[in-house]
Each structure stands twice: as C-alpha cells, then as structure tokens.
Amino acid sequence: MEKKDDSKIRNKKREEKPDDQTTIISDRESIDNYEDTLTLREEDEKTHDKTIAVFDIDDITRKLRDEIDDIPEADMDEMDSGQLSGIIKNIFPERTEAEQLKINRHFLRDAEPFRLERLLEDMKNRPEGIATGFAGIDQHVSIPNSSLTIITSEPRHGKSIFMMNLLLNMASLYKDKHFLFYTYEEVKRDIETKLINMSGDTPFKKSENVKTNLARWKYILRTKDPEELKNLSKQEPEYTGLAKFVEIAQRIHIIDQHYDIVDLIDSIRSFYNTFKIGAAFVDFFQKIKPEKKGNLPRQQQLQDISGYLREAADRMKLPFICGAQFSAVEKGLPEYDVLTADNIMEIWNLEWAANLVIGLQDYARSKFIGSNINDSFKSKLFEHKLIKPEKIQGSFSNKDEKSIVLVKVLVNREGLEPEEELLLHKPLLKIRDLTDEDIRLIRKNLV
C-alpha cells in the first residue's frame, strides 16, 4: 500500500468532557502489514486504554463516501459529543463542520464490534412495552416503545373508538405518565365528551344508541354548573363516567390542531421535554400533511411521514400509536378478506409503516369472518375453530346495545400475531373484555 501523508492524522484533537465521561480518540498504527490503519480507543483515566476496533483507512474512506449522501442536514443540538481528530476533515474537506461531526458520531456508533456484555446490557435496559388494558391481548402482545404502532380498520369498524379506549386504559394503568391524543377528525370538546361517555358503565335511560347518549351528555355539559355535575357524578350511576374521567383527565392532553408532520413532532417533543409521556396517539395517519406541498405522489408522502414518525419515536423512546383507514371496496376486495395483511399491504406498504399493526373488525358491520384468523383461534361467539371464511350466523340488530369487535394483530415484528374478541357497548362506545354472560346474551339476541 502506498505510504500516505499522515501528519494531520497524527495531530489528535481531544474533546473536553466531564470527568465522569470517557473520551474517544483516533490514532494511526501499523498492523498486519497494513501501512495505514485507524484504531478507535475508549480512554478512561481510571483504567487502561481499551481498543474498540482497528480499521484500514481506505476501508473507512470508502465506507464514509458510500454513506455521506444519505446523511441529512446536521442538527446542531446533537453536536455535543463525538468531536474527534481531523480524520473526517481530511476525507471530506468540502463538508461543513456540522456534517463532519455528525459523520464522526454515526461512524463511531456503527463501528463498535459485537460484545456480549454490551448485548446483555442492551437487553436489560430495553424499555418494556405498554399494556393495552385488555387481558386477552396483554397475554401475548404489548404496544412497543420507541416505534410506530398502526391501528387500522375499514370506515365505521371502530378505529378511533378503539384508540380512545386504549387511551383511557393506559391513563388508568400508568398513573405517573401523561398521554397525548392528536385528532385530525374531531374537535377537542367532542373527543372529551366521548371520553367521559366511555368512562361510564351505565348509559342514560331511554338512550337507544350512542347518538342519543352523547346528545344527552352535550346538553348536560351545556346547562349544568361544575358543582352540580360533581354531586351528580357521586350519586347517579349514569354520571359516574364524569367522575372517573376527571380523576385521570389532568394527564390526558387532547390536541385538535391539524399540524403538518414537522409541527406535529415538535409538539410531541415539547410535551416530552415537560412531562413524563406514556404514549402519543394520532388519529389518523393519512390526514397528516407533509411539511411542504410538492408534486410527490401521496403514497411517497405517507412513506416520508412514517419515516419522520418512526425516527421521532425512537429518539424519544416512546410508543407512537396512529390510526390508519383503508377501504376494501376501493380495492375490490371481498369482505371476508378485509383484514388479511397481504391485502392491506396493497393499500399502504406495511414494510415502512410500523413494528406493530392491529386490525379491527366489528361483527355488527360484517357478514363474513375467517380468512384473517389463525388456525388455532377459537371464536368465543361460534365456539369452534375457524378454518375457512364463514358467514356470521344471524345478524346484529341496530337496536342491540352490544357487538363484538375482533382485534387481530396483522404484523408484529417482535413475536406473536394473536387475535382476541372484545365487547363493544355501543351507547357508551366502551370496549372491554368479553365475559361468558356477554356471549350468552349476544347469542340470544342474534336474529
């Protein structure tokens, strides 16, 4: 190998750091008949130098040149570590100092070879997922931290309702955390009214459906004063939802501003810097706008938006839970195929969407069930395993208070893809675990 001028490489520059942090330095040595190599060391005043890795300088140059065009604009707020010698400046003199520092930081992070101790430490420090509050689901799956989760269904099959029930469950389970709910479909007061309604256990008398129950709540909230409402919530069973919601409402933040993707992430980061955040909900994914309007196809815009969301979730170590709507009718799909992962992938690409994708199907709005089911799943309603698509026996009346929602994990990059049937109480919009008594009454009312 031809001898290179290494005078600049030998001139090390060390970053001043607090005493409790290690300093990364770069050096050039000759090993294994190679004239030019780079050794990355971790220097600790209390211990001897520990070599991290040794690389041929040509390999380093080639690696960095291959990756440099993919480096986004450097964030100056993140330039507080990894400032090393002039090695990167020698290779990329045309780059700005901020870009050179970011390349250095990325390279040192990526260059560390496998160490069993590091893997064990990473596994121990891996944040646990967030429970959904539904016992049947939590036995197999949790909402992962540091990643994007998609909740999807056809229109009117319960996507937004399920997300709001998740929000209430999580706020009740994690009493030290705040939860964010960004709505692109409704105004803040309507979401808050629905959350009050969902928090109860008893609908108002003569409320045949959710419209009449919500209309009653809106009338009450317009006409009664706070003290009167507090007294009623302690005395009347129909008002207990208000008392339950008030207990957790200080940690639930409803945001109805239609932010573009950059402003949305900035808003989440502001909450993250102020409170201990449990999760951020966005309803729904396709309505998030890009930062700048352009000529890109909407599919490409959604792909870019999902990339922003995934990166932000990873940096903040938070679960981002986004609703996403699809329409089988637009794709000409048979109804019994609406929840198969392959067909949903035709509508928007799951490969870049999320680590966890959960699909919903409301039996009261369906005629078939089966193609999206694992062979091992036994329906609580049908009392047998579903091997092929089956027509739902009987039908649900619009006057029925209860329906069943199938929750199906379509994609789970970390493990199982189970399904679970849950109860939907329609006047309350409340989703909960099914009981044997629920099943008995629903079978009795099927016509």
Residues 53-74: tens digit of each pLDDT: 555 556 656 665 555 555 444 4
Q: For residue range 181-207, list pLDDT tens digits in order.
A: 999 999 999 999 999 999 999 999 877
pTM of the model as a whole: 0.73
Phi, psi of 167 (to 5 degrees): -55, -50
Q: For residue range 245-265, list pLDDT tens digits in order.
A: 999 999 999 999 999 999 999
Q: Lowest-pLDDT range, 210-219, 300-309, 418-427?
A: 300-309
Residue 408, pLDDT > 70, answer yes
16 SS3 class: coil
The predicted structure's pLDDT at residue 29: 41
Distance from C-alpha of 183 to C-alpha of 191, rounded to nearest angstrom:
8
Residues 69 and 53: beta-carbon distance below 8 Å: no
The predicted structure's pLDDT at residue 348: 55
pLDDT, mean of residues 117-125: 80
Residues 49 and 62: beta-carbon distance below 8 Å: no
pLDDT, mean of residues 424-428: 94
Residues for the chain: how many in total? 447
> For the chain, what percent of residues have pLDDT higher than 70?
66
pLDDT, mean of residues 336-356: 60
The predicted structure's pLDDT at residue 417: 83
Distance from C-alpha of 427 to C-alpha of 93, rounded to nearest angstrom:
66
How is residue 363 written in tokens?
């039996």
> Residue 21: in which H helix or E strand, if any?
none
Q: HSE on the CB side for 55, CA within 13 Å? A: 20
**Residues forming a β-bridge with 430:** 425
Residues 356 and 149: beta-carbon distance below 8 Å: yes
Residues 324 and 152: beta-carbon distance below 8 Å: yes
Residue 427, pLDDT > 90, answer yes
Residue 99 — very low, low, confident or very high, per pLDDT cuts 50/70/90? confident
Distance from C-alpha of 137 to C-alpha of 417, rounded to nearest angstrom:
10
The whole-chain average pLDDT of the chain stands at: 77
The predicted structure's pLDDT at residue 54: 52
Output the CA torsion 367→373→376→381 (10° steps): -30
Q: For residue range 136-186, list pLDDT tens digits in order.
A: 999 989 999 999 999 988 888 899 999 999 999 999 999 999 999 999 999
Residue 373, pLDDT > 60, answer no
Residues 320 and 148: beta-carbon distance below 8 Å: yes
Q: Which domains does the chain have, with CATH numbers?
A: 7-121 (no CATH), 135-445 (3.40.50.300)
More confident residue, 21 or 155: 155
Distance from C-alpha of 92 to C-alpha of 103, rounded to nearest angstrom:
10
| Of the candidates 285, 196, 288, the residue with the CA atom closest to the CA atom of residue 247 | 196
Name residue, tokens 């390349």.
103
